[in-house]
Amino acid sequence: MTTWYGFVGRFILTMALALNVIFVVNHIHSPLVITQQVAMTNASAEQAAKELLTPKQYKCLVGVITIESHDNPLAKSPTSSARGVGQLLASTYRNLGLRHSNDPKAQLIAMLAYISERYGSGGACAALQHEHRFDYF
């Protein structure tokens, strides 16, 4: 079931894509504490992730991306609708209220939104642990 703040968070992430800005929904303090973290206009996806995440979470995110796509924004699974750096399924994009893009920054936003929704405060490190255990995150 989607809560009102889940919908609003996805709406804001969609708008962030349009405005080329990353926003983070902070689930620890309040479901809807939204802070602008990085203006993406001139930043690469890697720079944005380094700026946005703690060093430990960044390392875990890189681990997930390496396993999933070897950092290839054009990667496509031969057996599913998964594609991009995070190999998110078409249904995952739809559930997040987003659409797939070949832009690595947009893929990073979608991937972080998915990780935040699925793993909460465990973040990318929880996703990496799940990846190692089950071969997907």
Say if residue 60's pLDDT is above 50. Answer: yes
| Three-class HEC string of the chain | CCCHHHHHHHHHHHHHHHHCEEEEEECCCCCCEEEEEEECCCCCHHHHHHHHCCHHHHHHHHHHHHHHHCCCCCCECCCCCCECCCCECHHHHHHHCCCCCCCHHHHHHHHHHHHHHHHHHHHHHHHHHHHHHHCCC
- Which pLDDT score, from 0 to 100, does residue 9 have? 52
Burial of 4 from C-beta contacts in 10 A (0-12 / 13-18 / 19+): exposed
Q: Are 65 and 46 within 8 A, CB to CB?
A: no
Q: How sure is the predictor about 73, in pLDDT bands with cuts at 50, 70 and 90?
A: very high
Query: What domain range includes position 21?
Result: 4-134
Higher-pLDDT residue of 52, 4:
52
Q: What average pLDDT does the segment 73-80 reach?
A: 96
Inform me whether the pLDDT recorded for 74 exceeds 70: yes
**How would residue 43 be classed by pLDDT, with cut points 50, 70 and 90?**
low
Residue 62 confidence class, pLDDT cut points 50, 70, 90:
very high
Q: Which residue has the higher pLDDT, 8 or 88?
A: 88
Count of domains for the chain:
1
Predicted confidence (pLDDT) at residue 12 exceeds the cutoff of 70: no
* Rounded CA separation 85/27 (Å): 24
Per-residue pLDDT tens over the stretch 96-128: 999 999 999 899 999 999 999 999 999 999 999
